[in-house]
A and B are shown apart, each in its own frame.
Chain A
């Protein structure tokens, strides 16, 4: 009761005395009404860190709510009456990695994703940085999983055939005296298990990163900073999981759970209700809603948007390291800055801004101006017209601002993986191992769980033409001439690569699906030239009408009508062109 009084007092101090406070299963629950989102957030943060398991923020905001979870609208019976040993809810990078990790065991695994592809939310909306475990406070889950995730990443990338690079990062000093922080920085690095930290003098910085803004007084170098493509990684996890027997159900949303005597017995979806021995909640921005449905909500997710600008590959040679300003205090933002990407683009961002609607990914002029004025300028040669596009993603934050990776004490076969904001991507290999172990522990309490002798951690990477030598390219084209036809001219992606991506075990047939797999449409023309051709390729490969081809989810069809009907132009003659006999003017050959 003392804790509760403390929360109450603090709320009063902050003129939030109207808010109701109560304890619920060792968590603190806030109720009532406030005018603004800021007050809602403030109350949540006040209640956090006071010894409770978590904050349930049920305060209503007069200014407007968070928007509803976007669930698939269609129904079928694909899952009705089935049974799985483990059901993983959420096809982001965490869920996909956990599903893949679980296929090491002789278990029936199902991965559920409400969207039409994996990595539709935070997992495709970040800058792909593998962080050194420096930023998190020592002793937190973030610090622990960050450190071990980072160390496991090379192996993970090698097994999955994913490109990974380790350029290292510079934490830039904004003040001359900041070099005096080096002993503290080294101490923190030791506490968190960060290796190879090095002081970089202003002169050395200028040599290593010639175009860095002159206002910085040297930097601290973190060699353990790397980059991956976060969506390719997620898809690779999903494909490897599927190849090892996991069932991946896309466009499958969890609508509820059947519970009996403190355990989940059934998972209700738009595709039927099925049985599950263990349920893993990796639902990202909606993890608290899934927790509520499962009967164990003790945390609240709020969305913090990050906007990132993608710069032309021409800017690539201007940057050697990931650059960011060394934060002077623990912040909830991950700083942002200028980072490299494995695909050759430079990224500027992310920003950090609290937004009410969890699935709202619209960008704003303010964010873009901030990127251009505050972050891009870390490098003196980067210019706004280097930007080819920009996008936003929402971090799934809890008020405790730490990862939740734990079995539920109230629902015996439920495991929570929530609050996986930055460095969530870095943490993935460590979190997936831990969660998989916990799931196996639960199952082992009443049955035998044996390793699957057929498991293979290796995924054969798809052919990427642009990374082959000319000889290898020629050999690939000779074997399959479709690799000789370039469809996306900016990223130099061939039809062969596109067709291959459509044959993935996940069976995703969308324009954005192709984009996330082979980058067609991600270059400087942003799909201007290749979109019409991709539409035809998609229709042909899917055996569908072109009007069914979608950009992403249902409702995003691209072609509304055909204007010509089915006209066969073969043999059509162009008449009346002077200087040529009619039979030489076959229009089909010309135009």
Chain B
């Protein structure tokens, strides 16, 4: 039987790198925390990420996913934070004094009534039909994350000869993984004119294994009735429209999709939380609190990150703030609803957090992405018509999220909007 008798004021949904970091930070601030995990074991997606490169910022070490996750799990255990595994959140309700979470596991249905909720449920992968691939629906069409789970956790190889569509990080890593497990990767096809994943992954996962990367190419049709028999690939123009006459049939038994991730907030959306269409995650303030008081979101549920270290960092922010909220309510401002909005300007895809609540007491970390690759870029942060900060970058790439710390004293009083933009 799992413990359900403890007193909790803060509940964390999800025990991946965001959720565990949030739980640890909240517990260190003295909150009574409990973590809800739907899978059998904590760790989230890191469990299946057996490659290394995690933790360079958080631990100054190159760790594998399970190692990184294990570090946090140790902290969770040392702080005696209960993790309810195999427990599923059915429903979340907003009540006068907090939230009511309806949960279920093998022992039945039960509820928790925390003051604060930290939602760290991660993201899901886009599917073939969600990027409008046409054709049939045979076996052998699989998203990269699902494939990674099957190979690394289950020890199953569901692919013989394959095409990978999309050069996102998981796609690149799976190209290498498939090759090492004896499958053949015919090529990686990327609709954009540049790779979607980190540069280091292109080098270490494709170039080292001589796997061709076909830029400005996409899969246009899926063939086969029972098992995939092949895909049609084609070159695309600058508007991503396939160019007729460039179609080619590639006979493969597997199509691996690495075509994007979607923050998974469906259950909190039902509470009417304000969303940012640019990130597909909720709009949050510098504490990672959503438009609903007491509901915090962090990690890939907030926006899709490329480094796990930033995921944990956003968890820490949410954890500390949630603990304080659970203990003392909203003493950190916003009683008047005063805030500064952060907006993406020229050349910027998005900025998170999207709001800076007044009073702005502490320096705040902002994450942003550029719209396209820009060499020798100069970022301007403007408060109204006054530029408060300039930052030079040798290169900005959309797949590589940037982090910028802004000191509150830089913001002139009365500022309503801060814009991140690239200088033309």
Contact = CB atoms under 8 A, between A and B. Distances in A.
B166 to A, nearest CB: 14
B157 interface: yes
Interface string B93-104: 000000000101
Interface residues of A, number: 63
A526 B156 contact: no
Interface string B280-310: 0000000000000000000000000000000
Contact of A558 (B38, B143, B158): B158
B146 A531 contact: yes
B157 A551 contact: no
Contacts of B109: 470-471, 473-474, 477
B130 A362 contact: no
B41 A365 contact: no
A384 to B, nearest CB: 8
B155 A564 contact: yes
Contacts of A535: 150, 154, 156
A394 to B, nearest CB: 13
Contacts of B385: none
B226 A554 contact: yes
Prevailing SS type, chain B contact patch: mixed
A481 B106 contact: yes
A525 interface: yes
Interface stretch (B69-77, B196-204, B330-338): B69-77
A389 B130 CA distance: 7
A346 interface: no
Contacts of B41: 589-591
B139 A552 contact: yes
A590 B70 contact: yes
Interface in B65-111: 66-67, 69-70, 73-74, 86, 88, 90, 102, 104-109
Interface string A336-370: 00000000000000000000000111111100100
B346 interface: no
Contacts of B392: none
B160 interface: yes
Contacts of A489: 38, 88
Interface size on B, as a range, is: 35 or more
A215 interface: no
B127 A389 contact: yes
Contacts of B140: 558
Contact of B146 (A529, A552, A567, A577): A529
Nearest to B127: A526
B320 interface: no
Contacts of A563: 151, 155-157, 181-182
B70 A365 contact: no
A528 B124 contact: yes
A388 interface: yes
B368 interface: no
A214 interface: no
B134 to A, nearest CB: 5
Contacts of B136: 360-362
Contacts of B159: 560
A482 B146 CA distance: 23
A559 B130 contact: no
Contact of A580 (B74, B125, B269): B74
A556 interface: yes
B269 A314 contact: yes
B222 to A, nearest CB: 8
B106 A368 contact: no
Interface in B113-156: 124-125, 127, 129-130, 132, 134-140, 142-143, 145-146, 149-151, 153-156
A448 B137 CA distance: 48
B198 to A, nearest CB: 22
A591 B65 CA distance: 10
A565 B156 CA distance: 9
Nearest to A531: B146
Contacts of A388: 127, 129-130
Contacts of B88: 486, 489, 492
B47 interface: yes
B402 interface: no
Given A477-B104, A484-B106, A560 B157 contact: yes
Contacts of B160: 560
Interface in B212-241: 221-223, 225-227
Contacts of B151: 563
B208 interface: no
Nearest to A475: B108
B344 interface: no
Contacts of A560: 157-160, 253
Contacts of A567: 155
Contact of A484 (B43, B108, B155, B157): B108
A388 B140 CA distance: 19
Given A555-B227, A559-B156, A525 B134 contact: no
A572 interface: no
A360 B135 CA distance: 9
Interface string A21-54: 0000000000000000000000000000000000
A557 to B, nearest CB: 7
Contacts of A525: 124-125, 127
Given A362-B221, A470-B109, A591 B132 contact: no
Nearest to A363: B134
A591 B70 contact: yes
Interface string A526-564: 111101100110000000001000111111111111111
Nearest to B159: A560
B139 A557 contact: yes
10 contacts: A70-B225, A482-B106, A532-B149, A532-B150, A551-B138, A558-B140, A563-B155, A563-B181, A590-B70, A591-B41
Interface of A: 70, 314, 359-365, 368, 387-391, 470-471, 473-474, 477-478, 481-482, 484-486, 489, 492, 524-529, 531-532, 535-536, 546, 550-565, 567, 574, 577, 579-580, 589-591
CB-based closest 7 A-B pairs: A564-B155, A555-B226, A551-B139, A556-B226, A484-B106, A481-B106, A556-B139
Given A470-B90, A526-B127, A591-B66, 10 more contacts: A362-B223, A365-B134, A387-B130, A473-B109, A525-B127, A526-B130, A536-B154, A555-B227, A563-B182, A591-B69
